Each structure stands twice: as C-alpha cells, then as structure tokens.
C-alpha cells in the first residue's frame, strides 16, 4: 500500500486479505482530511481533542443542548449491491445515504450537526476500494448537504455476512429543540425538499429489468434523477435551519408525508389535513416515471395514480415537514400543503378522507 504503482491493484483486492489496521489505514486518512477541513470552517462548533483511532473520540464544546440520533442501513433490507435493473449500489452511495439520513434527523430538531460516529460491518470479499469510496461518500454528503462543519469523529469496523452501517449523529441546538409535539390548531403545514423521487427510484431499480450498461446510462433524464434520489438523497438543511424560531414543530420525512404527518398529529393532539392539489407539481414530475415503468415491468402494475402514491406515501427523500403559525411568512424553501385543525385529533386526512395508503412501515407489509 505504500507504492502508488500498486495502489490500484491493492484497492481492488477484497478486505479479507488485509488486517484491520491496514484497512483503517486505507480510509481513515480521508476522514482525518475532512475533519481538518471541517475544523477550519468559520464559526466551528466543536473542537476535537481526540479523533478516530482511540477507544473514544473526545470533543470540547461550549455549554449547549445536544441532540443525538442513530440509524442503520443493512444490505438486502435497505439497499442491494446489484438491483434487478442492473444498477449497482456503490460504497460511495452507501456512505452518502448513511450520512444524509442522520443529518436530516439532526436538523429536523433545529440543531446543526457537529459530528458523526460510524460503525461499518462488511463481508471479507468487499474490495478495499469500496471502503475508500464509502468514506468519501460520508464526507461529500456532509459538505454538499450543508453540514460543512460536521466532523466524523470515530466509530467501529467489523466483519459480517452482509454490509451493515450504523451512524450516530450529534447536533447542537442554539435554542430549544423543535419537537413533533409543538404543532398548534390553525398552523400551516409545509414541506421543504423533494417528494416521491426516492420512492420512484426504488421502483425503477427493483421492477425494471434486463438493462445493459449502455441502456442504464442512456435512460431518460427523469429516470436517472429518480435513481439518484434513491441512491444519494439530499436534505434541505439550510431551509430547515431557517425554520428555527418560526416553526412550532418539524420532522424529517423518512416514511412519506402521510405517515410522518400522522406522527406530528399524534404527538401534538391535532388533526392534519393535506390537499392533493398542493402536491400537484411533485406528482406531475413523477407521472412520466410511472408511464416509463408501465412498459418495462413484468411483475408490477403502474399507473398515473402511482405518482400520487409515491409523493404522499414514499419516503427516503429526507425532506422536512413543519408546522408554522398561519400569520407568519413561510421560510425560504417551504411550501404549504395543508393545515392543522382541532377536530379528530391524532388523525391525518387527505382531501377530507382518511388515506388508505399510510406510508412505509419497517415491520408491516405494504
């Protein structure tokens, strides 16, 4: 690994050929480089006195409220290395998505992410290059999602029968955290970020079949964008932080607007009423994806109403759902999709009706 002439061949070798220390030497420098860069950003939030490589990382920060979250991606459950369509999920994709979904949870509380802890378990046949790409996906997600000052302070590396990555994220609140329980009767329900494109991307990769490499690269732009949204979602971090001090409640849209609105409704003891017409632009951009899939899937049926289902019930875009006072202008990037009412608390209605499709649930069949 010391010779650049042999680096390409080295990184193509499976991780089972290396010791744990050799594996760490391959990608930890990428994280250290990012941490030096993050620490140099103006107004840095935390000083890392001990970074990756010890039993624990050590952070020094001013007195403040901290928020913590953790999330896991597991091969076969959350992604496939090889999809039915021929698309592949790379180490970069896994790293990017692992960071993004945790950054989204932190900022939905009105906090700025300050550090990530990453636990990665991998089969021994994974190429070493995959781990380098994974590290780069983590750091690029932080930078491109607006968390430039967020470091990656440590974690764990282990062997397993499938790829599994767990990220713990820490954020700092300048004031009181935004909770799901703060929505009030009369609030405007608003959303920031994309809706439905990640669900559409999953459908493209799962249900379209038999593509060659050239076919994959030459798919229409709206198909490529949907796949990108599933593999490398982006969260509207800067818009979310502008909602701090204005919104009564906010959360990350992980499982679709309907299911996540239900969570706010139950926590806040209000009813939330969504209007399909206010999602019309989101739905319209996905109708061509549903039409494209109709001609290419042998196992599923798709229609224009599928686009509506992707938007209202599809998750993993990691946009923001927030409730704002009715007399306050919405922060930049947010658009109104409904309102909070007093009658039938704990409930969500779409166009005045209880929706039949509740959104994603990890333990219930769709």
Q: Which token pair is 180? A: 């799901």
Q: With beta carbons less than 8 A apart as the criterion, state whether 259 and 347 touch.
A: no
Fold annotation for 180-350: Phosphoribosyl-aminoimidazole Synthetase; Chain A, domain 2 (3.90.650)
Q: With beta carbons less than 8 A apart as the criterion, state whether 337 and 235 touch.
A: no
Q: Of all helices (H) and strands (E), which one includes residue 309?
A: helix 304-313
pTM: 0.84
CA torsion, ordered 307, 309, 312, 318, to nearest 10 deg: -70
- Annotated binding residues, written as ranges, equal 55, 69-71, 78, 105, 155-156, 180, 252, 254-255, 316, 360
| Alpha-carbon distance values, 361 to 254, 258, 260, 313, 358 (Å) | 10, 12, 11, 10, 8
Residue closest to 99 by CA, chosen among 299, 274, 233, 208: 233
> Under 8 Å CB-to-CB from 66, ≥6 apart: which residues?
111, 170, 171, 172, 173
The pLDDT value recorded for residue 49 is: 59
Q: Which CATH architecture group holds 4-173?
A: 2-Layer Sandwich (3.30)
- Residue 329: how many other CB atoms lie within 10 Å: 9
Backbone angles phi, psi at 347, to 5 degrees: -115, 160
Residue closest to 87 by CA, chosen among 190, 244, 193, 228: 228
The pLDDT value recorded for residue 119 is: 96
CB burial of residue 351 (10 Å; 0-12, 13-18, 19+): exposed
The pLDDT value recorded for residue 76 is: 94
Q: With beta carbons less than 8 A apart as the criterion, state whether 167 and 98 touch.
A: yes
158 forms beta bridges with: 121
- Annotated binding residues for substrate, written as ranges, equal 78, 316, 360
The pLDDT value recorded for residue 357 is: 72
pLDDT by residue, tens only, the chain of 366 residues: 443 444 666 778 887 778 767 777 787 788 888 878 777 777 666 666 555 655 555 666 666 788 888 899 999 999 999 999 999 999 999 999 999 999 999 999 999 999 999 999 999 999 999 999 999 999 999 999 999 999 998 899 999 999 999 999 999 988 888 999 999 999 999 999 999 999 999 999 999 876 666 678 789 999 999 999 999 999 999 999 999 999 999 999 999 999 999 999 999 999 999 999 999 999 999 999 999 998 887 667 777 699 999 999 999 999 999 999 999 999 999 999 999 999 999 999 999 999 877 665 554 544
> What are the sequence ranges of the domains in the chain?
4-173, 180-350
C-alpha span between 176 and 70 (Å, rounded): 20
- Annotated binding residues for Mg(2+), written as ranges, equal 55, 69-71, 105, 156, 252, 255
**Residue where the block lists tokens 């620490």:** 39
């Amino acid at each position: 690994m010391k010779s650049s002439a042999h680096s390409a061949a080295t990184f193509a070798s499976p991780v089972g050929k290396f010791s744990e220390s050799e594996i760490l030497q391959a990608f930890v420098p990428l994280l250290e480089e990012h941490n030096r860069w993050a620490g140099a950003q103006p107004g840095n939030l935390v000083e890392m006195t001990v970074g990756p490589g010890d039993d624990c990382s050590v952070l020094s920060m001013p007195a403040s409220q901290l928020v913590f979250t953790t999330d896991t991606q597991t091969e076969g459950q959350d992604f496939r290395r090889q999809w039915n369509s021929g698309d592949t999920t790379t180490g970069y994709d896994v790293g990017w998505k692992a960071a993004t979904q945790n950054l989204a949870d932190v900022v939905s509380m009105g906090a700025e992410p300050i550090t990530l802890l990453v636990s990665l378990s991998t089969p021994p046949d994974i190429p070493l290059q995959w781990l380098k790409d994974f590290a780069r996906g983590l750091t690029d997600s932080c930078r491109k999602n607006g968390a430039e000052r967020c470091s990656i302070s440590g974690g764990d590396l282990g062997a397993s029968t499938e790829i599994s990555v767990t990220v713990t994220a820490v954020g700092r609140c300048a004031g009181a955290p935004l909770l799901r329980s703060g929505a009030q009767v009369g609030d405007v329900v608003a959303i920031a970020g994309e809706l439905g494109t990640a669900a559409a991307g999953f459908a493209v990769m799962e249900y379209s079949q038999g593509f060659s490499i050239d076919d994959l690269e030459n798919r229409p732009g709206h198909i490529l964008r949907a796949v990108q949204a599933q593999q490398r979602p982006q969260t509207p971090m800067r818009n979310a932080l502008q909602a701090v001090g204005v919104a009564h409640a906010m959360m990350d849209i992980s499982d679709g607007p309907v299911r996540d609105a239900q969570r706010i409704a139950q926590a806040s003891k209000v009813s939330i009423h969504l209007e399909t017409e206010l999602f019309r632009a989101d739905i319209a951009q996905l109708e061509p994806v549903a039409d494209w899939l109709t001609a290419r899937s042998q196992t599923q049926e798709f229609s224009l109403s599928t686009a509506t289902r992707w938007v209202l019930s599809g998750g993993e875009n990691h946009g923001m759902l927030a409730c704002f006072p009715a007399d306050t202008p919405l922060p930049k990037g947010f658009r109104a999709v409904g309102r909070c009412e007093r009658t039938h608390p704990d409930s969500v209605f779409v166009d005045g009706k209880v929706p039949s499709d509740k959104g994603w649930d990890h333990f219930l069949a769709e």
